[in-house]
A and B are shown apart, each in its own frame.
Chain A
Amino acid sequence: MSAFLRAVDSGVVGCRVCRLVSRDTLGHDHAAMACPRCGSRLHRRKPNSYSRTWALLIAAFLMYIPANVLPILRTASLNDIDDSTILSGVVELWVKGSPGLAVIVFTASILVPMMKFLVLGMLLLSCHRGSDWARLQRARLFRLVEFIGYWSMLDVFVVALLTALVRFSVLSRVEPLPGVIFFGLTVVLTILASMSFDPRLIWDGRDIDD
């Protein structure tokens, strides 16, 4: 397939914790093998990568729906109660504050999670079929998703800070609403999903789910 040797074809296995390369004695009977240097269990591929990633991704998506539909923040003042969702918060920031930050929040809260669902879903499907389509680009896309994933927590921290700050008794108060909890869970679940996906599957061509 290619001139470059892969660990799985060369009888060696790398430790994902400390990166030590060991001779592969895992065999085909799923015999357990521990890294001689750090004691972590060695695997040729992350265990049950497909099913774990699918499960986490679907769970994340289920959380993502109420996260967007339900309001995340309540602003209460003397004669007015205003609930805002993630999207309306972005719009408000654009109109009243600064468009630059609105773009950042829009990216972190809406684009990044959407991209994670699409990219991870696409990777799972294409890897499962053993597709060799655009491997280098898919590999890069995965690293991007892995790298930017945790920035989605931005809106959760904004809500938390505003809740702690805006407490002027009856004049003005900010309270978190359930949407923010669902959103926090979405971010945690998508991070777990991208961690459980094994990018080596992109290059495997065929199913090795060990």
Chain B
Amino acid sequence: MATTSPEALLICEYCDTVHRRRPLVRGDVAQCVRCRAVLERHHGMSTNTLLALVLTAMIAFVQANLWPIVTLGLNGQYSSATLWGTIIAMWHQQAQVVAVIAAATLFFFPLVKMLSFGWLFWFARTGRRAPGFVPIMVTMHYLGPWTMSEVFVLGALVAMVKARVYFDVVPDPGIYAYALLTLMITVFAGVDVRRLWETTAEHPA
């Protein structure tokens, strides 16, 4: 053990078992021998691909926030809602707690996450560490489970089905932008950005 460099070791976060890192090839998933948790997985996407996906997600995010998500119709009256319209409505209806949770998990945290990804990958293309690398990576770790755009998409679907009983429901462009955003989130779910700790260097040669 004394002769092994720290980068060659990997500790299972779920059971504390020490593993020796093995190079992974396409499709490989390293599993913990003791508790079967995923240690790391190989992903074939290059940094450039990831950067392109982040840009796509950003465009989808802007549209998902600007455009209305759904329009309801009742006897010739129409009413539509955007994400921020939803947050503000909750604030005015004595549900400020919910408004804050929604603003954080559906707007601010996803925004911070995407901007950070973009910033980090932009520099990682050339193997460099972006300015502010360490604090950004630490922030990303703590943001972990607090982005919930994909839950919101399912929520929109449920709301539309519920409203369909009494109103005319017209899906708006925002919901499609959200669908695209969810797709990007799913792709990113398999990407462990912590690999940037290893693949980037503070002072590239």
Query: Is A163 located at the chain interface by the 8 A CB criterion?
Result: yes
> CA separation between A8 and B146, bound complex, in Å?
30
> CA separation between A148 and B17, bound complex, in Å?
25
Within 8 A of A (CB), among B6-34: 6-7, 9-11, 13-18, 33-34
Query: Is A154 located at the chain interface by the 8 A CB criterion?
Result: yes
By size class, the interface of chain A is 35 or more
| Contact residues in A for B105 (Cβ distance below 8 Å) | 153
Which of A146, A151, A166: most chain B CB closer than 10 A?
A166
> CA separation between A181 and B33, bound complex, in Å?
42
Instruction: Check B151–A150 contact: CB distance below 8 A.
Output: yes
Query: Is A96 located at the chain interface by the 8 A CB criterion?
Result: yes
Task: Report which of A18, A140, A157 forms a contact with B36, defined as CB distance below 8 A.
Answer: A140
Give B202's nearest chain A residue, CB to CB. A37
Which of A40, A156, A159: most chain B CB closer than 10 A?
A156
Instruction: Check A203–B35 contact: CB distance below 8 A.
Output: yes
Give A208's nearest chain B residue, CB to CB. B16
Q: How far is the CB of A164 from chain B (nearest CB, A)?
A: 4
Contact indicator per residue, chain A 117-144, by CB within 8 Å of chain B (1) or not (0): 0000000000000000001100110110
| Contact residues in B for A14 (Cβ distance below 8 Å) | 11, 13, 16
Binding site for A on B (CB under 8 A): 1, 6-7, 9-11, 13-18, 33-37, 69-70, 72, 74-75, 77, 79-81, 85-90, 93-95, 97-99, 101-102, 105-106, 134, 137-138, 141, 144-146, 148, 151-152, 154-159, 161-167, 194, 197
Binding site for B on A (CB under 8 A): 2, 4-8, 10-12, 14, 16-22, 37-40, 89, 92-93, 96-98, 101, 104-105, 135-136, 139-140, 142-143, 146, 149-151, 153-168, 171-172, 175-176, 180-181, 184-185, 188, 191, 195, 199-200, 202-203
